């Protein structure tokens, strides 16, 4: 039976994994995602799942084992953070290139140096171009819901790509919230059984995986991989709709919060979107037509859909929780404004860098950003769009 109970973010992810019962998990624990691995390993030890839990000596080995297990034909999961994801980097490209739908929960944490265990999005951003899909959640419920949907999205026949289920470290991973835990069988029915395409262990149909691929065919293989990201967008929408029909919580490429009639909008990923909702409501009560676009799918990036949702806005502020060193602006800003330009919508936009290494963001700071937007709208696109919020200068 479905049940609502207080649960910590990491436990909610482990709970979804228990219900999904993947074939293989190969993991090396790291703060703040440790408890996913720890809790799930106790499910394995107690016989609650049939998963083959592979104990490895590093994240590089973990992702190597996961990729190999997925290519062999298994449904495979893993969890990591920060340096752990960085150490997987070489293999991440291979996982996506081999079209192996591994599901990896990334509990977002800053990258060293200096050493920091708290939240920002440097780790996920660093893996942006690896070919993995990236879906960001705002709260504990979304961490649970997104993991269940990720299975269907990644395994869709015209997609077959690995998926990162991104959640803010500590802010969500260590937060207790009321979680709607769905019925075990309902979750199993939703994800369905898994049949890999061309599994390596299908001995009657032997194949080679990952052979040498030089100038004569590599480009064609990459070109065909690029064709999977449009269907991935469709899969995110369709699976999100079906999830809504089944469990009552519908998802899309992004969430619009008071956005439709808004004059000024903020765009953000992850838990800061929750704080931004409080800011938007406060501003609405004060007479400003404020709105929020909470991005859920960062890869594939819904540039066209975002531009359509922002049409007619007077000015927007795009929040990045990680820098791109040496760039004129930061990743989310660059991609949203590129989409706006391509759509022929030159909406004045500012880029807010916030929250690095777990620095807190509060509603008043987001409200202050909104308050600057009317003058941005009046004066037009600033030459230097970058502003820093919450840093000592």
Partner 1 sequence: MASLTEVRWHGRGGQGAKTASYILAVAAAEQGHLVQAFPEYGAERRGAPMKSYVRISDKPIRLRSGVPEPGIVVVLDSSLIGTENVAVGVPENGIILINGTMDAAEVKKRMGVPDSVKVGVVDATTIANEAIGRPIPNTPMLGALAKVSDIVTLEAAKAALRKTLGKKLSPAVLEGNNKAVDRAYEEVKLA
Per CB under 8 A, the segment of 16-24, 163-171, 195-203, 322-330 that binds partner 1 is 163-171
Does residue 45 bind partner 1 (CB under 8 A)?
A: no
Name the residue nearer to partner 1 (CB basis): 277 or 299: 277
Task: Tell me the two tokens of residue 94.
Answer: 């291979």
β strands within 125-223, DSSP E: 133-136, 163-168, 176-181
In whole angstroms, give the CA distance from residue 226 to residue 223.
5
Does residue 250 bind partner 1 (CB under 8 A)?
A: no
- Listed as own residue / partner, the contacts of 65-68 with beta carbons closer than 8 Å and 24 or more positions apart are 65/24, 65/26, 66/24, 66/25, 66/26, 66/95, 66/102, 66/104, 67/91, 67/94, 67/95, 67/98, 67/100, 67/102
Does residue 271 bind partner 1 (CB under 8 A)?
A: yes
Does residue 6 bind partner 1 (CB under 8 A)?
A: yes
Name the residue nearer to partner 1 (CB basis): 117 or 377: 117
Q: Among residues 72, 117, 258, 343, which is the contact residue for partner 1, using CB under 8 A? A: 117
Residue 258's region, left for phi above 0, alpha for psi from -120 to 50, else beta, is left
Name the residue nearer to partner 1 (CB basis): 130 or 141: 141
Instruction: Report, in Å, the least distance between residue 6 CB and partner 1.
Output: 5
**Residue 179 DSSP label:** E
In whole angstroms, give the CA distance from residue 35 to residue 7.
12
Per CB under 8 A, the segment of 100-108, 228-236, 346-354, 361-369 that binds partner 1 is 361-369
Does residue 361 bind partner 1 (CB under 8 A)?
A: yes
Does residue 39 bind partner 1 (CB under 8 A)?
A: no
Instruction: Report, in Å, the least distance between residue 170 CB and partner 1.
Output: 7
- Three-state DSSP at 183 gives coil
Instruction: Report, in Å, the least distance between residue 224 CB and partner 1.
Output: 40
Task: Tell me the two tokens of residue 10.
Answer: 């990491």
Instruction: Report, in Å, the least distance between residue 42 CB and partner 1.
Output: 12
CA dihedral 227, 230, 236, 241 (to 10 degrees): -130
Task: Tell me the two tokens of residue 169.
Answer: 């470290």
Does residue 252 bind partner 1 (CB under 8 A)?
A: no
The answer to whether residues 141 and 4 touch, using CB atoms and an 8 Å cutoff, is no
Which of 200, 198, 164 has its CA nearest to residue 298?
164
Per CB under 8 A, the segment of 50-58, 273-281, 313-321, 327-335 that binds partner 1 is 273-281
Does residue 81 bind partner 1 (CB under 8 A)?
A: no
Contact code string over 122-141 relative to partner 1, x by CB under 8 A: ----------------xx--
Binding site for partner 1 (CB under 8 A): 5-6, 8, 31, 117-118, 138-139, 168, 170-172, 174-178, 271-272, 274-275, 277-278, 360-363
């Amino acid at each position: 039976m479905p049940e609502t109970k207080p649960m910590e973010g990491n436990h909610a992810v482990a709970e979804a994994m228990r219900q999904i019962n993947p074939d293989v998990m190969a993991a090396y624990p790291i703060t703040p995602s440790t408890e996913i691995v720890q809790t799930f390993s106790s499910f394995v030890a107690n016989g609650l799942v049939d998963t083959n839990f592979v104990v490895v000596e590093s994240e590089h080995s973990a992702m190597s084992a996961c990729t190999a297990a997925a290519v062999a034909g298994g449904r495979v999961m893993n969890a990591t953070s920060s340096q752990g994801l960085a150490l997987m980097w070489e293999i991440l490209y291979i996982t996506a290139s081999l079209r192996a739908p591994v599901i990896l929960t990334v509990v977002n944490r800053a990258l060293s140096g200096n050493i920091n265990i708290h939240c920002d999005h440097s780790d996920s951003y660093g893996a942006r171009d690896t070919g993995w899909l990236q879906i960001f959640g705002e709260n504990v419920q979304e961490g649970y819901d997104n993991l269940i949907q990720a299975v269907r999205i990644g395994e869709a026949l015209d997609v077959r790509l690995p998926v990162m289920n991104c959640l803010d470290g500590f802010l969500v991973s260590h937060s207790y919230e009321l979680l709607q835990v769905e019925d075990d069988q309902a979750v199993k029915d939703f994800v369905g059984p898994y049949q890999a395409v061309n599994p390596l262990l299908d001995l009657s149909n032997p194949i080679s995986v990952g052979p040498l691929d030089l100038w004569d065919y590599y480009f064609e293989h990459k070109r065909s991989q690029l064709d999977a990201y449009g269907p991935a967008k469709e899969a995110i929408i369709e699976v999100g709709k079906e999830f809504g029909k089944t469990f009552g919580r519908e998802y899309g490429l992004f969430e619009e919060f008071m956005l439709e009639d808004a004059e000024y909008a903020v765009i953000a990923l992850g838990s800061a979107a929750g704080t931004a909702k409080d800011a938007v409501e406060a501003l609405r009560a004060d007479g400003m037509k404020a709105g929020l676009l909470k991005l859920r799918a960062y890869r594939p990036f819904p540039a066209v859909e975002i531009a359509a949702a922002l049409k007619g806005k007077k000015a927007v502020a795009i929040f990045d929780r990680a820098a791109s060193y040496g760039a004129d602006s930061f990743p989310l800003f660059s991609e949203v404004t590129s989409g706006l330009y391509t759509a022929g919508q030159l909406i004045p936009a500012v880029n807010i860098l916030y929250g690095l290494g777990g620095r807190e963001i509060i509603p008043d700071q987001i409200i202050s950003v909104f308050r600057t937007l009317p003058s941005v709208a009046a004066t037009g696109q600033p030459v230097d769009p970058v502003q820093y919020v919450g840093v000592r200068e």
